[in-house]
Amino acid sequence: PAPHHTTFLLGPRTLLPPPPPPFPPSLSLALSLSLSLSLSLSLSLSLSLSLSLSLSLSPLAEITHKVYFDIEIDGKHAGRVVMGLFGKTVPKTVENFRALCTEKKGSKFHRIILSFMFQGGNFNLGDGRGEESIYSEKFVDENDKIKHTDPGVLSMANAGSNTNGSEFLITIVKTSWLDGKHGVFRKVFSGMDVVYKVEAEGIQSGSPKWKVIIADSGELAM
């Protein structure tokens, strides 16, 4: 005999067909996982796009120049660090650093402190004394709106307000206590693995275990 299908009576003239059979458990699980994965991927792409747009549209962090350091540790090549410079926000600071990168070679990082930062850019004595700028004198702070929010931020090392020369520091961690005191002008674009290699040569007193130098430096095409 033909199978009997039950209909559900909701009112005098309203009839509904029987509900469809449920999906097998394995198929239901597969569909659920697929939907979850799709939602997760969509959310990830959305967040990634939002972050990219946020960074690219920020006028303060717009990169106008790229420069590089080739680092040597104890006479051995350690790798290259590429940095993006914020020329529209701090033009005088960026031009000073860009020019020194293309003209000066062989300076050392004379101060390296674990879990904090390392400092270099002294082309005369190499120990934090006698630094210079391309302007033949100390120059003023330009902007304090860019913060030390991440590892790999580069800012000016100085002796107080408006005493910028050639020395700079590269942070290893977020260093918000430096905000407003040391002007941020660039960020590591690539080569954070090399930054951490340099950090590993430091101790809490700041004296490097081995000689760490900028063997070569220069400007890269955008």
Tokens 């790798």 -> residue: 79
Domain range spanning residue 42? 23-57
Asked if residue 108 and residue 40 are part of one domain, the reply reads: no
Q: Are 132 and 166 in contact (CB under 8 A)?
A: yes
> Which region, left, alpha or beta, applies to residue 139 given φ > 0 means left and ψ of -120 to 50 means alpha?
beta
How many angstroms separate the Cα of 13 from the Cα of each of 7, 9, 19, 70, 214?
12, 8, 19, 84, 87
For residue 86, the model assigns a pLDDT of 94
Given 6, 37, 57, the domain boundary residue is 57
Q: Half-sphere exposure (CA, 13 Å, Cβ side) for 167?
A: 25
Asked if residue 71 and residue 149 are part of one domain, the reply reads: yes
Q: Which amino acid type is present at position 24? A: P
Q: Are 170 and 117 in contact (CB under 8 A)?
A: yes
Asked if residue 181 and residue 103 are part of one domain, the reply reads: yes
Interval 186-204: pLDDT, tens: 899 999 999 999 999 999 8
Q: Structurally, how many domains does the chain consist of?
A: 2
Asked if residue 80 and residue 52 are part of one domain, the reply reads: no
How would you write the pLDDT of the chain (222 residues) with one tens digit per residue? 444 444 434 444 444 444 455 545 555 555 455 555 454 545 444 444 443 333 333 566 789 999 999 999 999 999 999 999 999 999 999 999 999 988 888 899 999 999 999 999 887 665 556 667 899 889 999 988 889 999 999 999 998 899 999 999 999 999 999 999 999 998 999 999 999 999 999 998 899 999 999 999 999 998
Is pTM beyond 0.75? Reply is no
Asked if residue 112 and residue 52 are part of one domain, the reply reads: no
Interval 114-155: pLDDT, tens: 999 999 988 766 555 666 789 988 999 998 888 999 999 999
What is the CATH classification number for the domain harbouring 145? 2.40.100.10
Q: Are 206 and 111 in contact (CB under 8 A)?
A: yes
Asked if residue 144 and residue 203 are part of one domain, the reply reads: yes
Q: Are 113 and 204 in contact (CB under 8 A)?
A: yes
Q: Which of 151, 145, 107 is nearest to 127 (CA)?
A: 107
> Which region, left, alpha or beta, applies to residue 140 given φ > 0 means left and ψ of -120 to 50 means alpha?
beta
Q: What 3-state DSSP class applies to 153?
A: strand
